[in-house]
Structure 1
Amino acid sequence: MDEDDAREAQETATVIRRSLKLFNMTKWGFVILRCTYSSQEKWEKLLARLKQRSREYFALAGMPEVYETMAWTVIEDREALDGADYVEGSLRSAQFDWVDEDAQGVQADEWSPCPCPRYFFYLHVDEEGLESGLSEEPETVLGTQGCLTLVRADVVLLNVTFRDEDEEQREEEVVELDEERLLDWRKKVKIHRIIDVYETFIPQGLDRWYYTPVEHGVCLA
């Protein structure tokens, strides 16, 4: 790490800390949707890696107090979520309470309208994502290893329609989309870039999602 890395980390941490004050919130961070239950050991290892990488990031920035406000909210339900893809996960996660009392503090300010990304995106971790997140490849290597899937939940829900077949069952109808359109729904994010990606949605707004540069489906921002 050099001085440029430290300066960029400090700038990112400053934006996140400022957003908490402006939106009258006490925590931040993407919600994690657990959609694999094959190995508790691997799952705990992945969470430990995410937390360690985040601690190192804010230590580099010289602002460890921002890490202390980072919430590690994991939605877990083996029966409802095991094996769910990002569409199923978005649908099924609607039954869980994402928006807690902290969301009531969101206020309008000079960045308005800029809803908190915590309540519009989530990290989807299925079996493939678990293995990718535990990859030992260097972070600088291009490709989808070392990545998790970031899902724009509200966009997925708006684009999925339902048809009731009977009183107990409904069929999900998903329009077949090309890969470019699917990038409006989900993108891969390198673990070491998760904090940077979160920060880009604060001053630039949620529409930044559509203009985030990608390569092979992986966010470059």
Structure 2
Amino acid sequence: MRLFELSTTEATAIRDSLEKYKLKQWGFVIFRCTYKSQEKWNRFIGLIKEHASDYFEWRRMENVHDRMAWTIIEDAAALEGASLATTAQKFAEWADGPEGRQDREGSVFDDADVLPVYGPRYTIFLHADERSLESVMDDAKAREDGGYFCTVVRAGMALAAERERERQEEGDEQAEELEDEEEELLDVRKRVKIDKLVLLYAFVLDTNTWYNIYVEDGVAEI
């Protein structure tokens, strides 16, 4: 017998969103952007999956976890050291390509002419770079960075930022200096602790709440 009951609010919200939008699955698309160590990668992915599995098991909502998909995209030649703009473009291509269309087949997003702009699976992705992997493998770096984390990117914002950069370059204009570059990047990407990914997903079921995520010492507080 449990001494206390864990909240099922987030898990229930995810389950309800699947029914509301007639989605077969939910979860994250992950771009592997470092290939220096297979051991680090395996541990990183293993811990992410373990935390998600534990979250639903402890709440006895394994049926929601059963519909969770980890779509991992690997390409050492194209993705080693890739920028956020590069992975954002590839994410958009995935979402609008055959795999993405099949992924949302039968859902309210199943429209050949409309790319989904609502729902985490089609608007945000994980950018797994060397810094993220090091935060899992190296306890000292994990402490410096606020804990084991991964980088979550909002694709549309990353692409918009890249288009603005290109526009300024093509116009031969001096790019405006940001008062706080790190602050500006918060609309594009957020570092999220790997044990908070389920909470993040539930929080941004309304994608506008992305902008309301509080960041402390460089890491999102969910």
Q: TM-score, normalised by structure 1?
A: 0.81
Deviation at 1:217, TM superposition (A): 2.2
Deviation at 1:61, TM superposition (A): 1.1
| More helix per residue | 2
Q: Distance in 2 between matches of 1:123 and 1:35?
A: 10
Segments of 4+ moved more than 6 angstroms:
none
Structure 1 114/80 Cα, relative in aligned 2: closer, same or farther at 3 Å? closer
For structure 1, the residue ranges without an aligned partner over 5 or more in a row are 166-172
For structure 2, the residue ranges without an aligned partner over 5 or more in a row are 110-115
Q: TM-score, normalised by structure 2?
A: 0.80
Letter in 1 for 2:208: D
Quick one: which of 42, 45, 48 aligns to 1:47? Answer: 45
Quick one: which of 182, 185, 192 aligns to 2:185? Answer: 182
Q: Distance in 1 between matches of 2:176 and 2:90?
A: 19
Letter in 1 for 2:150: L
Q: Verify the 8 A CA contact 1:135 1:145 in the aligned structure 2.
A: no
Higher mean C-alpha deviation, range 92-101 or range 72-81: 92-101
Quick one: which of 63, 66, 87 aligns to 1:65? Answer: 63
Structure 1 134/2 Cα, relative in aligned 2: closer, same or farther at 3 Å? farther
Deviation at 1:176, TM superposition (A): 5.4
SS of 1:72 mapped into structure 2:
strand
Q: Which residue of 1 aligns with 2:195?
A: 192
Q: Distance in 1 between matches of 2:3 and 2:76?
A: 43
Quick one: which of 10, 17, 27 aligns to 1:19? Answer: 17
Q: Verify the 8 A CA contact 2:92 2:155 in the aligned structure 1.
A: no
C-alpha distance after superposition, 1:179-204 (max 9, x if no partner): 211100001000111100110112xx
Q: Which residue of 1 aligns with 2:101?
A: 100
Structure 1 207/156 Cα, relative in aligned 2: closer, same or farther at 3 Å? same
Structure 1 2/43 Cα, relative in aligned 2: closer, same or farther at 3 Å? farther
SS of 1:3 mapped into structure 2:
coil
Q: Which residue of 1 aligns with 2:113?
A: none
Q: Distance in 1 between matches of 2:177 and 2:78?
A: 24
Letter in 2 for 1:145: G
Q: Which residue of 2 aligns with 1:84?
A: 82
Q: Distance in 2 between matches of 1:174 and 1:125?
A: 28
Q: Distance in 2 between matches of 1:103 and 1:130?
A: 30
Deviation at 1:14, TM superposition (A): 0.9
Q: Distance in 1 between matches of 2:213 and 2:65?
A: 24
Q: Which residue of 2 aligns with 1:158?
A: 160
Q: Distance in 1 between matches of 2:88 and 2:176?
A: 16
C-alpha distance after superposition, 1:82-121 (max 9, x if no partner): 111323322344444462323244438xxxx971111110
